């Protein structure tokens, strides 16, 4: 079976450019997860992006399955985009690695519409402790792999305040995203306030 990660890294480079930093985190009993930092460039000159590398090495397994299928199953990496220079967002590397390891550690399948919570601020002083997993395909295209492997999807993460996360649990992800849209919320602002939820 071909190693998926070099193909994933090549896709990230082609979509986001060359990373200017990377950090590796290994959790007990899991594969190594790297987080790559892509500096602000091009049209969106103030947006820095962080992408995980390692989550897609194995397919995510249905937590109810008796045995995990080593070949079939959804594969994904996580991508977070934030405005540079506003907060110490480089400290998000470890929380991102924790989220990327959650399929191996907790046996969860990370999919669009899901909430992921790290239980602490995503970076020092951040008003967010969780993220909403958004639909893939916009920033980094899916990476098709040889059959029978599922494609690797690059899932954007949208930081949520605790109030937004609680509201989303009741009303659902589409309702929260519509509220953000209607209020013109800048989801890349690392110090934004919660959207009005009245």
The residue-averaged pLDDT of 85-98 equals: 91
Q: What is the DSSP string of 91-134?
A: GGHHHHHHHHHHHHHH-----TT-EEE-SS-SSTT-S-SEEEE-
Label residue 96 left, alpha or beta by phi (over 0 means left) and psi (-120 to 50 means alpha): alpha
The residue-averaged pLDDT of 7-16 equals: 95
- 180 pLDDT above the threshold of 90: yes
Q: What would the two tokens of residue 123 be? A: 């970076």
- 171 pLDDT above the threshold of 60: yes
Which pLDDT does position 42 carry in this prediction?
A: 58
The residue-averaged pLDDT of 153-157 equals: 98
Sheet of 130-133, strand order: 21-25, 33-38, 47-53, 75-83, 152-160, 130-133, 115-117
Q: What is the DSSP string of 29-59?
A: TS--EEEEEE--BTTBTTEEEEEEESGGGSP
The residue-averaged pLDDT of 144-149 equals: 91
Q: What would the two tokens of residue 52 be? A: 């995980």
- 1 pLDDT above the threshold of 60: no
The residue-averaged pLDDT of 51-74 equals: 83
Please tell me the least confidently modeled range out of 50-54, 59-63, 135-139: 59-63
Question: What's CA 2's distance to the chain center, in Å?
Answer: 24
Cβ–Cβ < 8 Å for 193, 127:
yes
Which pLDDT does position 160 carry in this prediction?
A: 97
| C-alpha Rg value of the chain to the nearest Å | 16
Query: Is residue 81 very low, low, confident or very high in pLDDT (cuts 50, 70, 90)?
Result: very high
Most confident among 24-33, 100-109, 145-154 (mean pLDDT): 145-154
- 11 pLDDT above the threshold of 90: yes
* % pLDDT > 90, the chain: 73
- 33 pLDDT above the threshold of 70: yes
Query: Is residue 45 very low, low, confident or very high in pLDDT (cuts 50, 70, 90)?
Result: low
């Amino acid at each position: 079976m071909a190693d998926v990660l070099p193909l994933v890294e090549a896709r990230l480079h082609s979509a986001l450019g060359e990373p200017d930093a990377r950090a590796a985190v290994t959790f007990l009993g899991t594969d190594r997860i790297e987080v790559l930092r892509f500096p602000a460039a091009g049209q969106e000159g103030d947006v820095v992006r962080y992408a995980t590398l390692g989550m897609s090495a194995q397919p995510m397994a249905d937590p109810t399955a008796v045995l995990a299928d080593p070949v079939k199953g959804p594969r994904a990496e996580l991508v977070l985009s934030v405005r540079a220079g506003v907060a110490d967002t480089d400290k998000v590397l470890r929380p991102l690695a924790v989220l990327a390891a959650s399929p191996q550690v907790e046996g969860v399948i990370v999919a669009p519409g899901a909430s992921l919570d790290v239980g602490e601020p995503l970076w020092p002083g951040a008003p967010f402790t969780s993220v909403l997993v958004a639909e893939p395909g916009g920033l980094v295209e899916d990476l098709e792999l040889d059959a029978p492997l599922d494609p690797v999807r690059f899932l954007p993460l949208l930081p949520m305040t605790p109030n937004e996360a609680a509201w989303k649990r009741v009303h659902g992800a589409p309702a929260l995203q519509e509220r953000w849209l209607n209020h013109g919320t800048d989801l890349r602002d690392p110090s934004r306030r919660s959207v009005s939820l009245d």
